[in-house]
């Protein structure tokens, strides 16, 4: 039987060999045929990941398409560069360059170079082993505890295998040697290493690789992979464990710590023994999220290191918060809240840790699987003393005593736990008298009502730093008055009655700014104690009419019509002959009312006191949308949905969502109008009012700025503070370097200098101004009659825009921050603009000439940075560079002479910057020899000193990166090459962006302009139309004058004939 079985087995084996072909693959071939095992999938996939937003200001979660394998080969080189920081404490920077045109990635670090020499065992160059032979690594020895990212002997070799070309260059400063080697065709072709002598005192390692895009089903870099690579470079900037400068495409990433990297999500941070950094945030979507890094490796799927921390958090909350959570009341709710999964779903955690010899579930290193007993360190400091600084400002739990706070604050006599007192929050001291008079006619009076006059606008606490909140005096006083405590839930009636006041009454001016103050107060409670928002009746508002109208011959109070919003009044006015025949009275501020009128309002408290009410989750969403700094995109959509005529009906209680969408939105619209100029005249409304008043007054002779401010208020119905108006007048007259290219007002007196960017001007009552001669040559008086003048209740004021003969928005530039929108436009040379317009007038089909920003008096060179596609100059940016010269004093010493600063860098600001460099040892000393007009700093440095300045250009990377050098410069004496890294270190380079040019267009709608040429074109079209209008207007005026003159001549002729005939 056994013989038959053996015979059958042999036949089966022979048949198997006929059917199966065995492939004997080299390790490199196996990597290419089975890439999933080594680098992950080489197919495109869509995945929701955290990436940078368009402005590089925050992380957002977005679905992108990318190839994991391509991302992995980049990450291997990046992690190697970051690992070098642990080997060399002197390492100062990592530079990452993505060249989409030439299709390569380059990563440079200035740490200790790789060892140059022959490996004794393998008789091969050590660097060639590291980058060109699989399964070789210095990290195999597990007995030696290491906290670097690479371990398995694949790493950079995988990048080499998946590249068409792979370059390595390093300097060993000990041996004074430079090593260069190139591989091609997926590591199959190897050039011999070039080893040369090198006198460079600084080490560095440069890796450049050209990915084999065909292997990844691509033809070049795509948007998804670039976003992911950018995100990883930011990771490295935020997760390295000491000060390390990280650059992406030549620009410094301004992140100096893990806390700063995660600041958008920050709630609680702990750091322990340089091995663990933990940041805990709240998951808004109530879905557990984690972002973690082990030894600079992004563990996308987390792992045991995350599990180790999460378990501690859950255990702490379950064991320590049972009594606090019982305030909810329902026992089933308590059990649900204490379930581990429920707690976990509320957490958004960030972890950055160093773990000894970590192991991963695969070569892609997305999940760390080492057991916690082998981490090499413990983390058991989760104490969760969240908001301890904030708790220092908590109100007392059982405080029946009157409080001594700010003298302007009036504490109700009966205020204390369980009282039915009301705290009135009023806008400013002037409103305090109004409230105090009104309270005197209410039952209980001062016993039941407290008054807190707010100084300006309350801080927007949403996503704000806890320390900043705790140091805010207004918030501290408010918490003390109310008895508010951090981490206390006021749902339970017994807990609620520990508050010193039962209700809040918000009393602000009825204008747009008053609405904003209301919103900030509501936002404060919603952010810290949302249960108080939900509790109907806790928050109320006291409203007063903003406009009252009455018939001219029947002006008693009983016949007056009150309006509580401007849109409501505007609708009434349209229906009543634009208000003709009516007396119209404005009551913008509470201080406008007489005390007797205030008392009358308080006697009708039910009519004037309106409750805020909570309806549903849309109330929460609306408040978050309005005040969350990360919701700018949502606010843009919110503003786009606004319809003219929207207003809040105060005849009924108000839901929070209605307050946001019908009242607060009016402030947002007005805020943008104040902050963002018009494309046509380049003015914001306050600037336009000033120029209109100067034209109206024919302001040739000088006048005090303070007097002009009063005149503007009188003639243009300016409804805001005169201090702000004075500063705007001063701004129009400033002419120092970096301010106006053409100042429309003449500065007579001290209007500020480049020392402090104009903030050093004299008081408005001491300085004078008048129109400059050129102003009326730009704003031609013949255009005045064709402008559309606004109307303020029958009172003519400034036009909706002027029409200068050149686009002043480009002459003097603009910047402003509104609501959901901001803007920045550089200054340009008026001569370039005039040449452009004349060319266009003569050749209408001619395309616009490209212009470079220009600032009068500045000698700072401005470089143009074109995007890769350079389509119609969209996305063009500019770099403004300071002037400096370096002189070698001796073998060890050099002196830097700085004679110009980048645009926007003020002299005293730079003085402070140099003072910091001197304190931290980066420079030896400096002298400030600058005047109010000229810049002159002398900075002494030690050349062989280990400092943060990059002075040498003697290495090959400077010569290869032509984008980062400007040849034949006289400003820096180092082989005729201008070192951009040195300029960045010295804060002598800055950007002038054209990617956020937002203006009100010809239709007075907000519009983002993609390039300067678009602004020129729209201005040209509008100006052309108004030239036609001016021509028609002048012809009409001449015809009228001709007709009038003809009639006068006819009258004279008849009169003469009468005299001749009758002798008289």
List of residues 6+ apart from 218 with CB closer than 8 A = 44, 67, 70
Q: 349: which 2 tokens?
A: 């955690």
**Phi, psi for residue 979 in degrees, rounded to 5:** -90, 105
What span, in angstroms and rounded, lies between the C-alpha atoms of 494 and 156? Answer: 64
Q: Of these residues, 766, 821, 910, 915, which one is catalytic?
A: 766
Contact at 8 Å (CB) between 423 and 504?
A: yes
What span, in angstroms and rounded, lies between the C-alpha atoms of 588 and 567? Answer: 14
Q: Which helix (H) or strand (E) holds 422?
A: strand 422-427
User: Residue 49 gets which letter from DSSP?
Assistant: E
- Nearest residue to 248 via CA among 266, 232, 268: 232
Q: Which residue has 């190139």 as its token pair?
A: 182
Decide: helix, strand or coil at residue 52. Answer: strand
Where are the extended beta strands (E) located within 860-1005?
862-865, 877-881, 883-888, 893-900, 925-928, 937-942, 965-967, 977-979, 989-993, 997-1000
Q: Using the Cα atoms of residue 934, residue 940, residue 946 and residue 950 in order, give the sign of their dihedral.
A: positive
User: Residue 661 gets which letter from DSSP?
Assistant: I
Which residues are bridge partners to 768 per DSSP?
704, 748
- The DSSP secondary structure of 289-332, one letter per residue, reads EEEEEETTEE-TT-BHHHHHHHHHHHHHHHHHSHHHHGGG--HH
- Nearest residue to 722 via CA among 691, 686, 760: 686
Q: What share of the chain is helix, strand, coil (3-state, %, to 5)?
A: 40, 20, 40
Q: 506: which 2 tokens?
A: 């918000």
Contact at 8 Å (CB) between 1000 and 677?
A: yes
Greatest CA separation found in the chain?
Answer: 163
Residue 532: burial class (beta carbons within 10 Å; 0-12, 13-18, 19+): buried
Contact at 8 Å (CB) between 814 and 824?
A: yes
C-alpha pair distances (Å), 27 with each of 24, 159, 693, 1005? 10, 14, 82, 63
Count of residues making up the chain: 1064
Contact at 8 Å (CB) between 188 and 220?
A: no
Helix axes 665-675, 685-697, angle to 10 degrees: 60
Residue 157: burial class (beta carbons within 10 Å; 0-12, 13-18, 19+): buried
CA angle 346, 350, 355 (to 5 degrees): 130
Q: 4: which 2 tokens?
A: 């038959």
Helix axes 632-640, 665-675, angle to 10 degrees: 100
Q: 42: which 2 tokens?
A: 């080489």
Decide: helix, strand or coil at residue 970. Answer: coil
List the end-to-end C-alpha distance of the chain, in Å, as a whole number. 161
Q: 282: which 2 tokens?
A: 């709240």
What span, in angstroms and rounded, lies between the C-alpha atoms of 817 and 671? Answer: 9
* 234 catalytic residue (yes or no): no
Q: Which helix (H) or strand (E) holds 672?
A: helix 665-675
Active site residues: 766
């Amino acid at each position: 039987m056994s013989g038959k079985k053996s015979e059958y087995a042999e036949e089966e084996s022979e048949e198997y060999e006929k059917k199966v072909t065995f492939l004997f693959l080299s390790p490199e071939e196996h990597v290419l045929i089975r890439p999933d095992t080594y680098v992950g999938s080489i197919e495109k996939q869509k995945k929701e990941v955290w990436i940078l937003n368009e402005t590089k200001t925050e992380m957002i979660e977005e679905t992108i398409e990318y190839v994991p394998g391509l991302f992995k080969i980049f990450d291997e080189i990046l992690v190697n560069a970051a690992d070098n920081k642990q080997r060399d404490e002197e390492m100062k920077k990592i530079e990452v360059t993505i060249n989409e045109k030439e299709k390569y990635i380059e990563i440079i670090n200035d740490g200790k170079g790789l060892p140059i020499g022959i490996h004794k065992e393998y008789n091969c160059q050590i660097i060639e082993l590291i980058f060109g032979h699989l399964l070789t690594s210095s990290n195999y020895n597990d007995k030696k505890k290491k906290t670097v990212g690479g371990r398995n002997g694949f790493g950079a070799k995988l990048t080499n295998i998946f590249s068409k070309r792979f370059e390595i260059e390093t300097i060993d400063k000990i041996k004074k040697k430079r090593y260069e080697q190139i591989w091609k065709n997926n590591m199959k072709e190897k050039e011999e290493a070039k080893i040369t002598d090198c006198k460079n005192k600084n080490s560095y390692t440069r890796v450049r690789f050209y990915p084999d895009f065909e292997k990844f089903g691509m033809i070049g870099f795509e948007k998804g992979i670039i976003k992911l690579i950018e995100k990883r470079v930011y990771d490295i900037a935020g997760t390295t464990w000491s000060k390390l400068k990280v650059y992406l495409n030549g620009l410094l990433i301004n992140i100096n710590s893990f806390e700063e990297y995660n600041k958008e999500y920050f709630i609680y941070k702990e750091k322990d023994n340089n091995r663990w950094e933990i940041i805990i945030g709240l998951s808004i979507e109530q879905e557990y999220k984690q972002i973690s890094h082990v030894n600079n490796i992004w563990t996308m799927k987390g792992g045991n290191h995350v599990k180790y921390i999460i378990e501690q958090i859950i255990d702490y909350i379950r064991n320590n918060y049972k009594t606090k959570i019982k305030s909810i009341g329902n026992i089933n709710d308590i059990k649900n809240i204490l379930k581990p999964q429920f707690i976990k779903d509320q957490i958004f955690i960030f972890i950055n840790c160093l773990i000894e010899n970590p192991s991963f579930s695969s070569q892609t290193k997305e999940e760390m699987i080492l057991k916690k007993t082998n981490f090499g360190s413990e983390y058991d400091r989760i104490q969760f003393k969240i908001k301890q600084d904030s708790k220092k400002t908590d109100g007392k739990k059982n405080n029946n005593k009157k409080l001594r706070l700010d003298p302007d604050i009036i504490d109700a006599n009966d205020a204390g736990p369980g009282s039915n007192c009301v705290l009135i929050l009023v806008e400013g001291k002037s409103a305090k008298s109004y409230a105090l008079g009104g309270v005197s006619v209410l039952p209980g009076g001062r016993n039941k009502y407290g008054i807190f006059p707010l100084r300006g606008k309350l801080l927007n606490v949403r996503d704000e730093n806890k320390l900043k909140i705790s140091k805010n005096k207004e918030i501290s006083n408010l918490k003390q008055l109310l008895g508010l405590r951090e981490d206390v839930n006021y749902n339970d009636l017994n807990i609620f009655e520990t508050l010193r006041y039962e209700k809040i009454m918000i009393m602000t001016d009825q204008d747009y700014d008053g609405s904003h103050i209301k919103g900030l107060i509501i936002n404060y409670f919603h952010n810290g104690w949302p249960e108080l928002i939900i509790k109907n009746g806790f928050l109320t508002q006291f409203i007063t009419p903003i406009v009252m109208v009455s018939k001219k011959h029947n002006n008693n109070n009983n016949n007056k019509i009150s309006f509580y919003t401007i849109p409501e009044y505007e609708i009434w006015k349209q229906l009543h002959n634009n208000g003709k025949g009516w007396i119209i009275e404005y009551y913008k501020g509470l201080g406008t009312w007489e005390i007797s009128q205030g008392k009358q309002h308080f006697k009708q408290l039910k009519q004037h006191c309106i409750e805020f009410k909570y309806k549903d989750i849309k109330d929460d969403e609306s408040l978050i949308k309005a005040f969350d700094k990360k919701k700018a995109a949502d606010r843009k959509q919110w503003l786009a949905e606004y319809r003219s005529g929207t207003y809040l009906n105060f005849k009924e209680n108000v839901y929070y969502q209605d307050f946001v969408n019908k009242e607060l939105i009016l402030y947002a619209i007005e805020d943008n109008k104040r902050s963002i100029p018009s494309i046509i005249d380049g003015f914001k409304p306050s600037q336009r009012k000033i120029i209109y008043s100067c034209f109206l007054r024919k302001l040739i002779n000088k006048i005090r700025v303070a007097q002009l401010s009063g005149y503007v208020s009188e003639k243009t119905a300016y409804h805001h503070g005169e201090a702000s108006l004075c500063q705007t007048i001063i701004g129009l007259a400033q002419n120092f370097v970096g301010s106006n290219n053409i100042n429309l007002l003449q500065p007579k007196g001290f209007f500020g200098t480049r020392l402090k960017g104009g903030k050093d001007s004299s008081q408005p009552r001491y300085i004078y101004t008048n129109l400059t001669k050129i102003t009326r040559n730009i704003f031609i008086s013949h255009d005045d009659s064709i402008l559309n003048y606004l109307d303020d209740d029958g009172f003519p004021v400034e036009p909706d825009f002027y029409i200068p003969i050149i686009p002043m928005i480009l002459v003097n530039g603009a910047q402003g921050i509104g609501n959901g929108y901001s803007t920045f436009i550089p200054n340009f040379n008026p001569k370039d603009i005039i040449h452009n317009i004349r060319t266009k007038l003569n050749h209408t089909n001619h395309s616009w000439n490209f212009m470079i920003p220009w600032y009068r008096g500045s000698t700072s060179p401005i470089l143009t940075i074109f995007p890769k596609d350079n389509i119609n100059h969209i996305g063009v940016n500019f770099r403004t560079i300071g002037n400096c010269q370096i002189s070698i004093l001796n073998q060890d010493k050099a002196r830097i002479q700085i004679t110009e600063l980048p645009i926007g860098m003020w002299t005293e600001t730079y003085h402070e910057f140099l003072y910091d460099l001197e304190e931290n040892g980066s420079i030896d000393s400096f002298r400030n020899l600058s005047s109010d007009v000229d810049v002159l700093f002398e900075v002494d440095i030690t050349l062989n000193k280990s400092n943060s300045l990059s002075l040498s250009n003697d290495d090959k990377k400077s010569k290869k990166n032509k984008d980062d050098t400007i040849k034949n410069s006289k400003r820096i004496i180092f082989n005729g090459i201008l070192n951009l890294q040195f300029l960045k270190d010295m804060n002598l380079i800055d950007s002038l962006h054209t990617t956020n040019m937002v203006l009100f267009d010809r239709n007075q709608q907000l519009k983002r302009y993609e390039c300067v040429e678009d602004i020129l074109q729209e201005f040209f079209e509008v100006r052309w139309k108004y030239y036609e209008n001016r021509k028609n207007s002048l012809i009409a005026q001449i015809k009228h004058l001709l007709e009038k003159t003809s009639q006068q001549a006819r009258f004279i002729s008849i009169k003469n004939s009468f005299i001749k005939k009758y002798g008289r």
